[in-house]
Structure 1
């Protein structure tokens, strides 16, 4: 079939159509039709060759963003609903449905997505949910949904939502983010011997100590899982993160020394990663780098702290 005929047909589609080079680091946009340009307010020249991530709004749920990235990486079909940034600064809810394809046997893999404005539908559902929550949930129940009840820190779900927003903000400002993962090894053994009450008290004490270290309003300390805490620090570069990690190590050691019997081998380890956000990367990459650093700290004798060597986490 004639290529020009296909492009003419795509141009007249009522739904937005976007084609990207899925192999490129930024998932570079190579085609958009008129409907997509009208939907976002950007002209064709303002969209072509841009990384698709610059359109992703901060209302997008981390799970949706992750599903889209995985589909691009694995060459799979996907359907997700995300918030898209328009040229005037507003955001629309857009349902993206599409998948990969190859052209003329090229090794490059392209992605074609159909984009539909579903803002009215999403906002109607949110309004309904908000009205139900208003009558069915107490203030205490809402708080529990975002907080860990043992430590009174934010929980992992809330942390991931905030981390996504902070990443997008620092991407625009070209400023660094640092992630600290603090792990407590052999906590299960301590809980088995001392009981859950003492275990919870220990984690609450460590949480309180971490809050004293990270006292800036722009730092977020959270409970990541049963044995780990996580912190994201906005604007903190590599040198400051390295110094902070050493301080954290002392704080965690002090809490363990004061609250754990000497015959229980309970150790604290810290992994740190720093990056200035870039198109083609995501906050998940930064967290994964911190996890690798934490693993290295826990498996290398004499190394309780491992800090990423530079601002790059590739």
Structure 2
């Protein structure tokens, strides 16, 4: 198997036809077809099926597609690392974040990357937590920010911030707490609208772990929604309560559309960490973006732009 064959394979898959890939690559269709046949023989699997509407991938081809993306990305990073000078940081970095973190960090990080590291092709994706871990292990992304479940292998988690959760309700909600602070039991016994438990590293996982540690029953969940925006809208409509970091609902709380109650005891918190793979070589670009994330998080906490968060990261010099 050769790198060029993987590139040809990706181009055909993305183009949807052999003829369009041939035009993009400036390679005769017969030569391109021969390369794919050699790749299939090497892997002992059929990768593509030709039809009237173009080329489609087989299940084996779908698997190769994801791995080929990761391999070609790592090769591109390797070339950038070798060619870059000591004082200029270049390369391509993909940071994938769950929705509960993009709400707070996406724009600050995009601004910081553009201002500080113009030589780095910085891409930020929003993904489900489960997808993030799968993509990390396959080399499709370089970094993410998650809660460390302690079960992941070949990954390094560096603590970033500690974030407090609050109970959210509509201003007209029935069974509303009579005080600004509520106990853990009182908060979590109410009818809840929460994300599902299909994926780890989520706010729901953190809450359930805290209840279990306190010897308390699981949440009384009346509806599950894998969208922070939908959860907030449902709570605002009076359909139930929810528990999440304050920063995710800061705008609605400031506008008076939602009421936030602090949960006593400080046990309902999440610790966010920068997560990076250990089975891929370190790069100057990846280290630079990690430093930028830590610097940005610290600045946001110090200037109260991340409500309810306490910075845990050590200050890192910006390159």
- TM-score after normalising by structure 2: 0.25
Q: Indicate the structure whose relative CO is greater, using CA pairs within 8 Å and at least 6 residues apart.
A: 2
